[in-house]
Amino acid sequence: MTSQNPHDELKKLASSFTLSSKVYSDALSQLTRHTASIDAVSKAVTKQRDIERRLFGLTSAVLENINRAIAISPSLQSLSATNASLTRMADRLSIPGSSFAKIFESQKRFQDMIKGIQIGNSLTSAFARINSTLMLSASLAAQTKLANLESLSLGRIAGINSAFSKAMTINLGNLTRSYESLIDVAITRDSLGNYLPLITTYPPVEYYREISVIETLTVDEGSEGKTNESINAAIGESLPSVDALLADLDPDLCRLLEGARQSLRVNNADQARHVTTSVRELFTKVLHALAPEEHVRKWTTNSEFFHDNRPTRRARLLYICRNINCDPLIRFVEDDVCAALSFVDSLNAETHVIKSKLTTAQLSAIVSRIESLLLFLLQL
């Protein structure tokens, strides 16, 4: 890593971790399809693990260098600290047989992946961190994007007015602090072991998606700060399908999502309204399905959770999180929903955004953001 700009170095490291995750994923696929021997796969994974340990060291050094910068903003400093913690977590996960690694190895999804394959602890630890390595990549990429946004007015190329630009800044700041608090408590509190696979998988993606939406509204297309397509593709391949989970909840919900996607393919004056109306209705229906009014009423009678005698959005979110004994995770969920819906609510209100300036790419980023949020809530 020879670049003088530490965030350029971080961008390269993010790509390296994406590649690392793909090496593990491909190796596991070879084993499940019986197209390679365990010895051959073991050698490839061992080599990659050694490369990865070096990458962890380089990442920690770059992040430490960034944190020493005098002009660093509070949000960038917070995210840099978060990524330093995520790097330590991924490094600990790479140690075969460690108590930290065993938390991930015991997860049902991973056990299903390796079912019927007789492999040793070393390979098991490597495969168990496929998602964690990838999500570290996403979080590092988010930091490079945030650095590119530092001197820019958020939403400047999308016709967003100063009031909503300020609101975007506040929402991003809240989400960044919640993200830092969540990762910090996850690495220091042993009692949260059962939540670690969830925490290291979904919040990094949520934060990455949030930054990506802001980037499309702020940075000119084709600039260096645009979304890393390899990371997007890898995230899509590694996470469950939101379509399948929606179908399990209610098949009719898939039609709303498909309606939003179809609107992206029809570029007309009503495109933004059609897209945002579909995703807003979809979110509302999913939220109400996961937290029905009658269930929320049985859970609480606190008047602060009701408006016009109906449960508030916050009440429904807290109901969904009612069995989660982790306040920072609940706080992150609330800030995540607030940040994600701010774009959609603003468009629907027709007050903050000049719709004619929104491109299909910008609307597509908003749809991806809501898809990601729904997947997160469904996993909770």
Please count the other Cβ atoms lying within 10 Å of the Cβ belonging to residue 376: 23
CA distance 43 to 48: 9
CA distance 200 to 205: 9
62 and 208 part of one domain? yes
232 and 254 part of one domain? no
Residues 6+ apart with CB under 8 A from 168: 154, 155, 160, 214, 342
Token pair 């961190």 in the structure block, residue: 129
Give the tokens for residue 367. 């749809």
231 and 306 part of one domain? no
CA distance 145 to 85: 19
What is the average pLDDT score of the chain?
87
Mean pLDDT of 252-259: 91
Helix (H, G, I), strand (E, B) or coil at 209: helix
Q: Is residue 68 part of a domain?
A: yes
CA distance 25 to 81: 28
Q: What is the pLDDT of residue 351?
A: 44
Which amino acid appears at position 135 of this protein? M
Question: Of the segments 116-130, 161-175, 254-268, 299-313, which one has the largest average pLDDT value?
Answer: 299-313
205 or 28, higher pLDDT: 205
- Band (197; pLDDT cuts 50, 70, 90): confident
Q: Is residue 55 part of a domain?
A: yes
Q: What is the pLDDT of residue 146?
A: 95
Please count the other Cβ atoms lying within 10 Å of the Cβ belonging to residue 220: 9
Residue where a domain terminates, one of 206, 238, 270? 238
CA distance 69 to 100: 32
Question: Of the segments 60-69, 190-199, 254-263, 313-322, which one has the largest average pLDDT value?
Answer: 313-322
Q: Which domain holds residue 349?
A: 242-379
Residue (of 140, 314, 311, 110) closest to 211 by Cα position: 140
Residue 362 has pLDDT above 70, yes or no: yes
246 and 234 part of one domain? no
Q: Is residue 373 part of a domain?
A: yes
Burial of 204 (0-12, 13-18, 19+ CB in 10 A): buried
Q: Is residue 335 part of a domain?
A: yes
Q: What is the pLDDT of residue 25?
A: 86
Q: What is the pLDDT of residue 272?
A: 83
Give the rounded percent of residues in the chain with a pLDDT score beyond 70. Answer: 90
Give the tokens for residue 338. 């607030």
174 and 277 part of one domain? no
334 and 196 part of one domain? no
Residue 350 has pLDDT above 60, yes or no: no
Q: Is residue 121 part of a domain?
A: yes
228 and 250 part of one domain? no
CA distance 32 to 45: 15
Mean pLDDT of 322-351: 86
Residue where a domain terminates, one of 238, 266, 295? 238
The beta-strand segments (E) located in the chain are 306-307, 310-311
Q: Is residue 168 part of a domain?
A: yes
Rounded-to-10 torsion of CA 343, 281, 231, 184? 70
Q: Is residue 348 part of a domain?
A: yes
Residue 104 has pLDDT above 50, yes or no: yes
Mean pLDDT of 58-82: 90
Residue 121 has pLDDT above 80, yes or no: no
* DSSP designation for 6: H
- Band (123; pLDDT cuts 50, 70, 90): confident
160 and 265 part of one domain? no
Say if CB 325 and CB 186 are below 8 A apart. no
- Partners of 307 in beta bridges: 310
CA distance 223 to 4: 19
For residue 163, how many C-alpha atoms fall within 13 Å in the half-sphere facing its CB?
4
Helix (H, G, I), strand (E, B) or coil at 303: helix
* DSSP designation for 310: E
Residue where a domain terminates, one of 215, 238, 261? 238
224 and 249 part of one domain? no
Region of 350 (left: φ > 0; alpha: ψ -120 to 50; beta: rest) is left
Counted domains in the chain: 2
69 or 231, higher pLDDT: 231
211 and 303 part of one domain? no
Rg (CA), the chain: 21
Residues 6+ apart with CB under 8 A from 3: 9, 12
183 and 226 part of one domain? yes
Q: Is residue 1 part of a domain?
A: no
Q: Give the predicted TM-score (pTM) of the model.
A: 0.91
152 and 35 part of one domain? yes
pLDDT in tens, 128-141: 777 888 899 999 99
Residue (of 346, 377, 339, 374) closest to 75 by Cα position: 339
Q: What is the pLDDT of residue 377?
A: 96
